[in-house]
Structure 1
Amino acid sequence: MIDSVKLICLYGPESVGKTTLAEQLAAHYQTVFVHEVARDLITSNDLTLDDYVRIGHAQTRAVLDALPKANQLLICDTDLITTALYSQVYLNDVPPVLAELEKQVPYDLYFLLNIDVPWVADGLRDLGHRREDMYQLFKTALKERGIDYIDVSGTWEQRWDTVTWEIDRLLA
């Protein structure tokens, strides 16, 4: 099933528009999207390693469960690299199982969303003062894994144009 659906990851630090873009892309391509499941599971950033393991399993399960509902394309507004990065940032440790879970969902296309849009606080987002640092962590994590990505920056319209052009190219 995973081979018949193209998996798209909207990737980057907090408050760069991933969820909004995922919803819009899913509507545009008449498919489904997988939101950041951690938001259903946590109420603060005071987490343990076990919490990150639980989030990792739940996020992976959400993606795999969404595959049969997808219309040739599945949009995801986070991934397991992100879970590992936040575990590292908040706890200075990463549960090894996250690397194994990461391998279960091979994305066909990564979009790294830049921090050149306004940061919006929402109760869980608390790293606005570290945006540049976080952006570099996200970029480095992809490079270390040898994952190609498309940099997405500019206005909301420019972001939309970049992402849809690349997705259309992938689907052609």
Structure 2
Amino acid sequence: MTTPLKRICLYGPESVGKTTLARQLAAHYQTVFVPEVARDLITSNELSPADYERIGYAQNAAIRAAESAASRVLICDTDVITTILYAEIYLGEAPAVLFELEKEVLFDRYFLLDIDVPWVADGLRDLGHRRQEIYDRFRQALDTRGIDWVPVRGDWAERFQIVTAAIDELL
């Protein structure tokens, strides 16, 4: 009997190490990870509601496409809730369709990565001065939705250990 695929979401504000951790976890579990598709779709943070909708659809499509290549666990660098939060931050509100899209792909475990690591600018990241506020929004979004999550803080090795211990329990 095969074990059902476990979907893992690395979640949190910009520059907390989600992509780096996703790569490490995919290698550790000999599986694939789904990157943040917005990075391939945008060149600035000046986005329209239609841009956020496109990102939401594309993120879910990327997750679904990766499921067949995944082995036991699928590591996702982000989710549609993140898209909603950034739409709210930059536009003041999120397109309604994103709230429907967030229900299409569910995760077995969320990991909320803390802001206790250095912030690194990369051209798209521009909210370093608002890190605590943004982190609090991310935490509140999970709590409001009743989504269970694992806090991830500490240095890079500690973060890896926290996440792998929790994933191992799922598997």
For Structure 1 versus Structure 2, the TM-score category normalised by the shorter chain is over 0.9
Distance 1:36 1:46 in 2: 17
Shift of 1:72: 1.0
Please list every run of at least 4 consecutive aligned residues from structure 1 whose deviation after the TM superposition is greater than 2 angstroms: none
Aligned to 1:38: 38
How many residues are treated as equivalent by the alignment? 169
Aligned to 1:136: 136
Q: Which has the larger helix fraction?
A: 1
State the SS of the aligned residue for 1:69: coil
Distance 1:151 1:46 in 2: 31
Distance 2:161 2:60 in 1: 28
5+ residue gaps, structure 2, are none
Distance 2:33 2:158 in 1: 21
Aligned to 1:101: 101
Please tell me whether residue 18 in structure 1 is matched to residue 18 in structure 2.
Answer: yes
State the SS of the aligned residue for 1:75: strand
5+ residue gaps, structure 1, are none
State the SS of the aligned residue for 2:106: coil
State the SS of the aligned residue for 1:19: helix
Aligned to 1:55: 55
State the SS of the aligned residue for 2:74: strand
Aligned to 1:64: 64
Distance 1:101 1:66 in 2: 17
Distance 2:99 2:67 in 1: 21
Aligned to 1:154: 154
Shift of 1:4: 2.1
TM-score under structure 2 length normalisation? 0.98
Distance 1:156 1:48 in 2: 35
State the SS of the aligned residue for 2:61: helix
Distance 2:64 2:100 in 1: 15
Question: How well do the aligned residues superpose, as a CA RMSD in angstroms?
Answer: 0.8
Task: State the identity as a percent.
Answer: 64
